[in-house]
Amino acid sequence: MTSEEKGWQRGDLVMRGNEIGFVKAEISSADEHLIVLWQSGVERIHRSRFGEIRRPNKAEEAEFKNSGALPPLQALEAIESLESVEVLMAERKGTIKTRHEQQRVDDLIRRAFAEPAECIWDRKHKDAIFLLALRPAEVGLPLRFQEWLHRPIHALYHRPR
């Protein structure tokens, strides 16, 4: 049974020449296209072109694992998450009306991604801070109020200089 007959699973590594990609969606016997995420973007590959792609051999797969990269499925999920964040950031940017508001959003994003966290409150509420920056309407009033109270304290005592 060839690799094409076994089917492709989400997160499988795919190669075309030296280019590595990830299978974005499982393919069944009824599907006509395999959807692959390459570094250059997403491509739908028709069954008739499966000869152009292959699974990595054991040495290539070992090289990928030894490179310190995440396992293929986790790498794909991380890439997809970053793409989602990119879309959210673009949507949020369109709603910002003033430089002050832009500065506040930038500050929230910086605090959400700071490693290590700048303070205990930020570490505890990291996800909410990020959500507050990109989707403020989805954050509840109690947390928005807490962040509003914490902001001046954070600026005075926690923010790196």
pLDDT in tens, 15-63: 998 899 999 988 877 788 999 999 999 999 999 999 999 999 998 888 8
The predicted pLDDT at position 1 comes to: 37
More confident residue, 158 or 18: 18
Residues 81-107, mean pLDDT to the nearest whole number: 92
Lowest mean pLDDT among 4-13, 42-51, 96-105, 136-145: 4-13
Grade residue 155 by pLDDT with cuts at 50, 70 and 90. Answer: confident
Kindly tell me if the per-residue pLDDT of 87 is higher than 70: yes
User: Average pLDDT in the 82-104 region?
Assistant: 92
pTM of the model: 0.69
Predicted local distance difference test score (pLDDT) of residue 68: 82
One-letter amino acid at 13 equals: L
pLDDT at 12 over 50: yes
**DSSP letter for each residue of 34-60:** EEEEETTEEEEEEGGGGGG-B---HHH
CATH 2.30.30 fits 3-75, yes or no: yes
Cis amide prior to 116 (ω within 30 degrees)? yes
Q: Give the separation between CA 126 and CA 111, rounded to whole angstroms.
A: 8
Please state the domain extents for the chain.
3-75, 95-158
pLDDT at position 74 over 90: yes
Q: Answer whether 22's CB lies under 8 Å from 72's CB.
A: yes
